[in-house]
Chain A
Amino acid sequence: MITLENVTKIYQSSNGSVTAVDDVSLHIKEGEIFGIIGYSGAGKSSLIRMLNGLEKPTKGNVIVADRNIANIKGKELREARQEIGMIFQHFNLLWSRTVRENIAFPLEIAGVPKEQRLKRVDELIQLVGLQGRENAYPSQLSGGQKQRVGIARALANNPKVLLCDEATSALDPQTTDSILDLLVDINQRLRLTIVLITHEMHVIRKICDRVAVMENGKIVEQGEVLQVFRQPKQTITKRFVQQVIEPEETKETIAHLIDKYPRGNVIQLTFVGEAAEQPLIANLTRQFQVNVNILQGKISQTHQGSYGVLFVHIDGTDEEVAKAIDYIRQQQVGVEVITDVQ
């Protein structure tokens, strides 16, 4: 659905040039939710804005739904844009228009006759759950409701792709989750390809199928979300993964535990998918001569399955502990013996 080939974006300014996107190649499949994560200034916005031609790449090709967005302009670009919806961090609604009129705006642009427009707007209001607020002005809506209007507006012309530029970054955690649920719902119901950028791993974890990590204008790592959670390769990716699976105080706690349990081993278990749902600890104590203490743990739900981290303390003879660890390995559970904390 979307292919980027060696895309570079360089901004010229009075105090030199900035390479915001540096030779990025990427393929996004039809119907998937693809996330791009990176810290502020990584070049995420520049990248996503090239997907609908709001920025022109300095070099490279940007192919969206079989059209090279980098090369077209005028009428052709405007038509291409009607097939690419976009939502924004600050919603960007017209305050002079009601909810209904805001949602009708892209339909007016596309030249949809009035009667059909009204019908389509009503469908969209149902889709995003804004019944009863049709005649409100944006200033009378909450952040979450504003983003729902933004989503309805972006979907009005039945686009093939939805671009989300930090769409939940201005919202509180609860509202963020409800907007993310709505995006998944839309993705499944309409088979819409969604590209989203964010600096929050929570967003990636919750709804993305695949993720790319961006740093200094480059994609430094990409893959299936669960895979990236299981085996993050780059330091930056590890930091992002830690954002959601380890609370801030984990390191401190672990250091404390190692001091507290001079005997035995503190080990970190990483569960992915189905492994997270079996009675591993019960089996361990039943089958081996070991004592298992659960120290700390957290299971997160990703779009593709659950993912969990558990810190346990295992005590017993060296032989039994080794057997127990072997057993754990056979259960598709990642094991890491922690002896010290860096």
Chain B
Amino acid sequence: MFNSLLPNVQWDTIWAATVETLYMTGIAVVATFVLGIILGLLLFLTSKGNIWENRLANAIIAAFVNIFRSIPFIILIILLIPFTKLVVGTILGANAALPALIIGAAPFYARMVEIALREIDKGVIEAAKAMGATTATIIWKVLLPESLPALVSGITVTAIALVGYTAMAGVVGAGGLGNLAYLEGFQRNHNDVTFVATVLILVIVFVIQFIGDFVTSKIDKR
């Protein structure tokens, strides 16, 4: 019955495209999480009144974050073509989308990390210092655990944005559901393919949101 309503849909290509989208999103989320936390920590720690207070370093990192956060993603992909070629060796396929996805999302997430860290009560950091904690201990045992719910809800929002980015990346040849919707659905005018790809993307987004909300509520003990 499905096949008569959706005459042009080939489920094996749909499945392959879904896996590709999940693959791109998954790798990009993990890399963005790590990179964003590092950048966010640097932004926070070098800001005024904090452990590594340093105006120059802070200004440089903030400029980098702001610039890459402001470039529209579709333009970023094009700008990064030479870089992608150098690192991945090709500008086609799922792996080729990764540099642009990560470089586009990490600064976005870094800002959220910085805001989450700024929400931590200064007194708690000070109490840790008064106990003789090293900076590493403060980062691992105070800053990250105390901001964890905000870090998780931030990565949820970022992951959802990344699903959108993978679809855009698909249009310039990166594979995945976006690529399928564009090539099969739009260019060959197979609206049923576009429809199925859209539904699948929505399902992915809902699942990510659900998991994110669930984890956030579980770890938030405030």
Contacts and interface: CB of A to CB of B under 8 A. Distances in A.
B130 A86 contact: yes
Given A54-B129, A105-B141, A92 B134 contact: no
A137 B54 CA distance: 35
Interface in A42-86: 52, 54, 77-82, 84, 86
Contacts of B142: 94
Contacts of B222: 95, 139
A77 B133 CA distance: 10
A86 B127 contact: yes
Contact of A109 (B133, B145, B219): B133
B132 A95 contact: no
A39 interface: no
A80 B131 CA distance: 9
Contacts of B148: 96
Interface stretch (B19-27, B98-106, B118-126, B166-174): B118-126
Interface string A85-102: 010101011111100000
A108 interface: yes
Interface string B144-155: 011010000000
Nearest to B148: A96
B66 interface: no
A94 B131 CA distance: 13
Contacts of B131: 81-82, 105-106, 109, 153, 157
Contact of A81 (B121, B130, B141, B221): B130
A199 to B, nearest CB: 18
Interface in A135-167: 137, 139, 153, 157
Given A109-B137, A110-B132, A94 B146 contact: yes
A90 B221 CA distance: 18
Interface in B181-206: none
A99 to B, nearest CB: 12
B123 A90 contact: yes
Contact of B132 (A78, A93, A94): A78
A81 B134 CA distance: 11
Contacts of B123: 88, 90, 92
Interface residues of A, number: 27
B124 A94 contact: yes
A96 B121 contact: no
Contacts of A78: 132-134
Interface in B3-43: none
B127 A79 contact: no
B58 to A, nearest CB: 17
Nearest to B130: A86
Nearest to B131: A106
Nearest to B129: A54
A96 B145 contact: yes
B127 A81 contact: no
B73 to A, nearest CB: 34
Nearest to A163: B130
Contacts of B219: 96
Given A137-B221, A139-B221, A139-B222, A92 B132 contact: no
A84 B131 CA distance: 8
Closest 9 CB pairs of A and B: A81-B132, A92-B127, A78-B132, A92-B123, A137-B221, A106-B131, A82-B132, A96-B145, A86-B130
13 contacts: A54-B129, A86-B127, A88-B126, A92-B124, A92-B127, A93-B124, A94-B142, A95-B221, A96-B146, A105-B141, A106-B132, A108-B137, A109-B137
Interface of A: 52, 54, 77-82, 84, 86, 88, 90, 92-97, 105-106, 108-110, 137, 139, 153, 157
Interface of B: 121, 123-124, 126-134, 137, 141-142, 145-146, 148, 219, 221-222
Given A109-B128, A109-B132, 13 more contacts: A78-B134, A81-B130, A81-B131, A84-B130, A90-B123, A92-B124, A93-B127, A97-B145, A105-B128, A105-B141, A109-B131, A109-B134, A137-B221
